[in-house]
Amino acid sequence: MPTRGRPHLISRFFSKAPPQPETKGILAIDDDDAENYEGVELPSGWTFRSTPRAYCTVKLNEVFAAFPDEPFYGFVMDDTVPLTDKWDLLLAEKAGANGIAWPDDCLPGKRPSAIVLGGDLVRALGWIAEPTIKHFYADNVWETMAKDLGTAGRCEEIKIAHLHFSNGNAPFDSVYQERPSPATDFLNYKRWMLAWPKLKARL
Q: What is the CATH number of the domain that holds 74?
A: 3.90.550
pTM higher than 0.85 for the full model? yes
Q: Is residue 22 part of a domain?
A: yes
Q: Count other C-beta atoms under 10 Å from residue 141's C-beta.
A: 23
Q: What is the pLDDT of residue 192?
A: 98
Q: What is the pLDDT of residue 124?
A: 97
| Residue 75 identity (one-letter amino acid) | F
Q: What is the pLDDT of residue 112?
A: 85
Q: What is the pLDDT of residue 105?
A: 93
SS3 content of the chain, % helix, strand, coil (to 5): 40, 20, 40
135 vs 133: CA distance, rounded Å? 6
Q: Is residue 59 part of a domain?
A: yes
Domain count, the chain: 1
Q: What is the pLDDT of residue 151?
A: 85
Q: What is the pLDDT of residue 108?
A: 81
111 vs 153: CA distance, rounded Å? 10
Q: Is residue 1 part of a domain?
A: no
Q: Count other C-beta atoms under 10 Å from residue 178's C-beta.
A: 11
Q: Is residue 121 part of a domain?
A: yes
Residue 59: domain span: 7-202
Q: Is residue 2 part of a domain?
A: no
Q: What is the pLDDT of residue 141?
A: 97
Q: Is residue 49 part of a domain?
A: yes
Q: Is residue 99 part of a domain?
A: yes
What are the pLDDT tens digits along the chain (203 aa)? Answer: 999 999 999 999 998 778 989 999 999 999 999 999 999 999 999 999 999 999 999 999 999 999 999 999 999 999 999 999 999 999 999 999 999 999 999 988 777 889 999 999 999 999 999 999 999 999 999 999 999 998 878 899 999 999 989 888 898 998 899 888 899 999 999 999 999 999 999 98
Q: Is residue 122 part of a domain?
A: yes
86 vs 91: CA distance, rounded Å? 9
Q: What is the pLDDT of residue 113?
A: 82
115 vs 164: CA distance, rounded Å? 17
